[in-house]
Amino acid sequence: MRSIDIHAHLTPQCFWKSTESGGDWHSLRREQDDRGREIAIVGDRRGGLPPKARWTPEERMADMDSLGVDVHVLSPYSGFYNYSLDASVAVATSRDSNNEIAEMVKAWPNRFAGLGTLPMQDVNAAVAELERIMTTMGFKGAMIDDKVNGKLLDEPEFLPFWKAAEQMGALILFHQGDDTLVDYRTKRYHLPNSVGNLADRTITFCSLVMGGVMDACPDLKICLSHGGGYTCYNIGRIDRGWRGLPEAPTKPSLPPSEYLRRFHYDCIVYTEEALRFLIDTVGADRVLFGTDWPYDMEFDWPVSWILSLDSITQEEKDLILWKNLETLLDL
Partner 1 sequence: MRSIDIHAHTFTPTMLRTLEAGQEWYGMRYTNEEKSNIFVREGKIVNIHPKCKYTPEERVADMDQLGTEVQLVSLHTPVFGYHLSTADGIAHAQEVNNDIAAFVGESPKRLAGMAALPMQDVDAAIAELGRAVNTLGLKGAELDTVVNGKTWDEPEFLPFFKAAESMGATLFYHPQPQHNLMLERTNKYALPNCLGVPVEDTLLVAALIYGGVMENCPDLKVCVAHGGGPACFGMGRLDRGWKVRSEARVNITRPPSYYQSRIYYDIVVMSERSLRFLIDQVGIERVVLGSDYPFVPWDPSPTGWLQGLESITQEEKDMILWKNLENLLGIETTG
Which residues of this chain interact with partner 1, rule CB under 8 A? 147, 152, 154, 181-182, 184-186, 188-191, 193-195, 197-199, 202-203, 206-207, 210-211, 226, 229-230, 232-242, 244-245, 269-271, 273-274, 277, 280-281, 296-297
> Rounded to the nearest whole angstrom, what is the least distance from the CB of residue 305 to partner 1 in the complex?
11
Give the whole-angstrom CA distance, residue 89 versus residue 209: 31
Whether residue 263 contacts residue 205, with contact meaning beta carbons closer than 8 Å, is answered with yes
> Rounded to the nearest whole angstrom, what is the least distance from the CB of residue 287 to partner 1 in the complex?
15
Torsion of CA 209, 213, 219, 224, to 10 degrees: -50
For 112, the enclosing helix (H) or strand (E) is strand 112-116
To 5 degrees, how large is the angle CA 201–CA 204–CA 207? 155
Cβ distance to partner 1 smaller for residue 106 or 240: 240
> Rounded to the nearest whole angstrom, what is the least distance from the CB of residue 70 to partner 1 in the complex?
24
Cβ distance to partner 1 smaller for residue 71 or 268: 268
Cβ distance to partner 1 smaller for residue 61 or 274: 274
Cβ distance to partner 1 smaller for residue 108 or 270: 270
Cβ distance to partner 1 smaller for residue 60 or 147: 147
> Rounded to the nearest whole angstrom, what is the least distance from the CB of residue 191 to partner 1 in the complex?
6
Whether residue 12 contacts residue 100, with contact meaning beta carbons closer than 8 Å, is answered with yes
Sign, CA dihedral 275-197-46-149, equals: positive
> Rounded to the nearest whole angstrom, what is the least distance from the CB of residue 299 to partner 1 in the complex?
9
> Rounded to the nearest whole angstrom, what is the least distance from the CB of residue 44 to partner 1 in the complex?
19
Q: In what order do the strands lie in the sheet with 38-42?
A: 29-32, 38-42, 45-49
Give the whole-angstrom CA distance, residue 261 versus residue 69: 26
> Rounded to the nearest whole angstrom, what is the least distance from the CB of residue 69 to partner 1 in the complex?
19
Cβ distance to partner 1 smaller for residue 57 or 252: 252
Cβ distance to partner 1 smaller for residue 53 or 329: 53
Sign, CA dihedral 103-171-250-238, equals: negative
Neighbours of 261 (CB within 10 A): 12
> Rounded to the nearest whole angstrom, what is the least distance from the CB of residue 205 to partner 1 in the complex?
9
| DSSP letters spanning 273-320 | HHHHHHHHHH-GGGEE----BTSTTSPSSHHHHHHH-TTS-HHHHHII
Contacts of 21 (CB under 8 A, 6+ apart): none
To 5 degrees, how large is the angle CA 326–CA 135–CA 155? 90
Cβ distance to partner 1 smaller for residue 93 or 202: 202
